[in-house]
Amino acid sequence: MNDKESAADFIRTIIAEDLASGKHQAIVTRFPPEPNGYLHVGHAKAICLDFGVAAEFGGRCHLRFDDTNPAKEEQHYIDAIKEDVRWLGFDWGEHLYHASDYFEQLYDWACFLISAGLAYVEEQSAEAVRKNRGDLTSPGVNSPFRDRPIEESLDLFARMRAGEFEDGAKILRAKIDMASHNMVLRDPAIYRIQHRSHPRTGDAWCIYPMYDFAHGQSDAIEGITHSLCTMEFENHRPLYDWFTSHLPVPAVPRQYEFARLNLSYTMTSKRKLKQLVDEGVVSSWDDPRMPTLSGMRRRGFTPTSIRNFCATIGIKRTEGTVDYSLLESILRDDLNDVAPRRMAVLDPLKVVIGNWPAGHVEMVEAMNHPGKPELGTREIPFSGELWIEREDFREQAPGKYFRLKPGAEVRFRYGYYLTCTGFETDDKGEVTVVRCSYDPESKGGNTADERKVKGTIHWVSSAHAIASEVRLYDHLFREIVPGANGDFMDDLNPDSLTMVMAQLEPSMMDVAVGEVVQFERSGYFCMDRDSSADKPVFNRTVALRDSWAKLEKKLNQGPSEGA
């Protein structure tokens, strides 16, 4: 699916009906991240929906930071979120907002609720509040402060703002229904005391609104028509509606919920991702194994592939887990079209051509992209000593193995036909050198007798090769649903990162940081920011489908039972 196309879904149907009926003249959505971590692939689904439907229906989407908890929020998270949204291909234009823009209005509305007898200052301990809320089978118990005089709550709330009380000494609660079947409605907290400096407002405030109070009212102030949230906020919608119906808000937005993105072998809890960073399990928020947008960008994912992935999985209300292989398949489709080809050897084995002229170096022409001749060609040095992949030679090989083996002739891509004449091993029996002869008349795969060989392998001239650190990534977790059976940390994959020293063709030094190229027959790789002038570092973005590996596995398994 093209990233500009979107299949119909229930949210788009609702929006279309609202516009057709005249309920709204134009739609306004918002993406409201909390700046307490980096955005991940689950956020990408929300971003594509929030900004996508606004664009499709001629509306606008706001970027609004839910900066109501200075204990966890930092400026570098704000900067990273902006960068990620823009990288994904969206722009909020002039519509950048913060919940903190509305702190004074939110405070006034909290006073309005107190004056209306719909809120009160609570002095019970946090433990007592939790205990008295009851549970799913028993109602809560009214706070002894629930019916305190309005004037007293107003006075205490003003003194909370003035900084007279310590953190946790008091909170402001909405007075709703302690017997409600929806636990969210059992007199939820509206404000808490936090003597912490705020990234934007500094020390102007020491009380901060709770998300449930700030969110809906911020939507109302901004004129949001369709407030799109994931399903975990479905139980919060009655509270969202309670606030907007009891306050003199300028507009009444409506909240709609959709299923969040659950991706196999992937953790999309921002709190748990932060734990991985804090405990040093990964190097940073943008570690290429992380499902953060910055980590995926560093690994070599393209914004087009992520947008196409989000369009493919669509918007539903039912929860489910999407197979990671779908994301990889969409990524391959995109990179196959745009990534230039290069040759690299990840597990080097030396090939020596016995009849090659001593000291001779020949330049061979290679295509930059076999499907796009307009991208031109490059020249690669071919010499008498080459590196090949260790797996491309076998002392003893099955019949359908068409790579290099004793007596076999193989085409060296863009170069010559080579025939294996022997090999050398070390004292452990491991092959160290493969000896070959070449046909001088076979350059480029063309021979006088027009003979063809079935095998073609890639190579790098050993005298001209660039040594490179290559990082091979696997899933960060070894379970489809990390933590499903206990602590998610127990499901970490110890083999999520393998580093090898590879040999690359010389043109690899011209690859830019962040650029993705295809290592022929190996996969797609991205130049990492850890690269230096004399040693490039590449991250494997995604492997190619290896048809030989599948065939070899089948052959090694032998005939099935009953065959």
**Annotated catalytic sites, by residue?**
34, 260, 270
For residues 294 and 296, give the distance between their C-alpha atoms in angstroms, rounded to a whole number.
Answer: 5
Q: Are 57 and 8 in contact (CB under 8 A)?
A: no
* Consecutive H or E run containing 524: strand 523-527
Using DSSP's 3-state secondary structure scheme, residue 322 falls into strand
Q: Is there a contact between 388 and 404 (Cβ–Cβ < 8 Å)?
A: yes
**Which runs of E-coded beta strand occur in 397-520?**
409-412, 417-425, 431-438, 456-457, 460-461, 466-473, 497-504, 516-519
| Alpha-carbon span 151 to 532, nearest angstrom | 67
The pairing of strands 385-389 and 460-461 is antiparallel
The residue whose two tokens read 């912490």 is 196
Beta-strand pair 28-31/60-65: parallel
Other CB atoms closer than 10 Å to residue 127's CB: what's the count? 8
Structure token digits, residue 257 = 């919920």
∠ CA 305-309-310, rounded to 5°: 120
Quote the CA–CA distance of 462 and 234 in Å, as a whole number: 61
Rounded Cα distance, 281 and 278, in Å? 8
Helices (H) and strands (E) in the chain, counts: 13, 27
Distance between CA atoms of 362 and 365, rounded to whole angstroms?
A: 10
Tokens of 472: 């091979």
Mutual angle of helices 324-338 and 303-313, in 10-degree steps: 140
Q: Where are the alpha helices (DSSP H) in 89-132?
A: 103-115, 126-132
Q: How far apart are CA 508 and CA 498, in angstroms?
A: 21
Query: Per DSSP, what are the bridge partners of residue 377?
Result: 367
Distance CA 266, CA 262 (A): 8
What is the helix (H) or strand (E) element at residue 239, kind and residue range?
A: helix 237-246
253 burial (CB, 10 Å; 0-12 / 13-18 / 19+) is buried
> Tokens standing for 465?
């090769």
CB 144 within 8 A of CB 124: yes
Q: Which contiguous run of DSSP H or E holds residue 307?
A: helix 303-313
